[in-house]
Amino acid sequence: MEIKTIAVLGAGLMGHGITQVAAQVAQYEVYMRDIKQEFLDNGMKMINDSLQRFVKKGEMTEAQMNEVLSRIHPTLDLKEAVSNADLVIEAVTENPELKKKVLAEADSLAKPDAIIASNTSSISISEIASATKRPEKFAGMHFFNPPQLMKLIEIIRGAKTSDETLSTIVEVTKKMGKEPVVVKKDVAGFVVNRILIPALNEAVNLVNEDVASPEDIDKAIKLGLNWPMGPLTLLDYVGLDTTLAITEVMVKEINPKYQASPLLRQMVRAGMLGRKTGKGFYDWKK
């Protein structure tokens, strides 16, 4: 099936980035939908700012920027967003009930042959696909933050996802200039978070056991494993609450060994969530 028009549900952190990549690199017509005008305006502002940076660097002309913007259609109307879409990408908050509600609604308004994908980072694809009447045309399409820069997309097969759906999404991924990794089973954490989250949690354990300072732990991993950023800095960026939520999913669905560090729990309770609250392992207020 050929994809020409995409609907992105959500204009937030991930949604606006996915919209930009789809319109800029793959040159799709994109309908970006959110529930409040201020969310849409904010999403469009972030897309504008990002495109301006490409223009400043000389990687894009003003005319090319306007052409990209002309392919993006912000809307509050779900029916307008999905009724012409060949592919619907859901990028709403990481909450199973909310995702299911939005997906059931989108499913009822979309064309019968449209494919639906979810940008979830931790929720079971089979579970949220069950909110639609087309589980065979449903898959995970997990972008990484920021979608404009990160090369990877994890494509997750749900229990009923068809081969044709998977191969179409692989094609779309390549057209967006991204690298696909096919996750053959719908397991919690997929590939990246399955490896990353225990590593981040272990870094918190090292702080908790006073083995080394946060600065030295970050330095050791940056220089010893060649990570671009240390695990505790990364935790502050991702959000300690988000990380805790993923560990809880992994404990429930895979194995109790993924238990969160007691310090991670304490910090979340204290509202020390990282950059978004100004304080995590580092002070971001400065």
Q: Show which residues are catalytic.
A: 121, 142, 154, 193
CA distances from 156 to 3, 18, 235 (A): 19, 17, 24
DSSP 3-state of 61: coil
| Bridge partners (DSSP) listed for residue 75 | 33
Query: What size, in residues, is the chain?
Result: 286
Nearest C-alpha neighbor of 183 from the set 124, 234, 252:
124
| Bridge partners (DSSP) listed for residue 37 | none
What is the distance, to the nearest Å, from the Cα of residue 133 to the centroid of all Cα atoms in its chain? 24
- Helix ranges (H only) for the chain are 13-24, 37-56, 62-70, 78-82, 96-109, 125-129, 163-175, 192-208, 214-225, 231-238, 240-253, 262-269
Three state DSSP letters for 158-215: CCCCCHHHHHHHHHHHHHCCCEEEEECCCCCCCCHHHHHHHHHHHHHHHHHCCCCCHH
Phi-psi region of 142 (alpha: psi -120 to 50; beta: other; left: phi over 0): beta
| Contact partners, residue 170, CB within 8 Å, separation at least 6 | 155, 180, 182
Amino acid at site 56: K
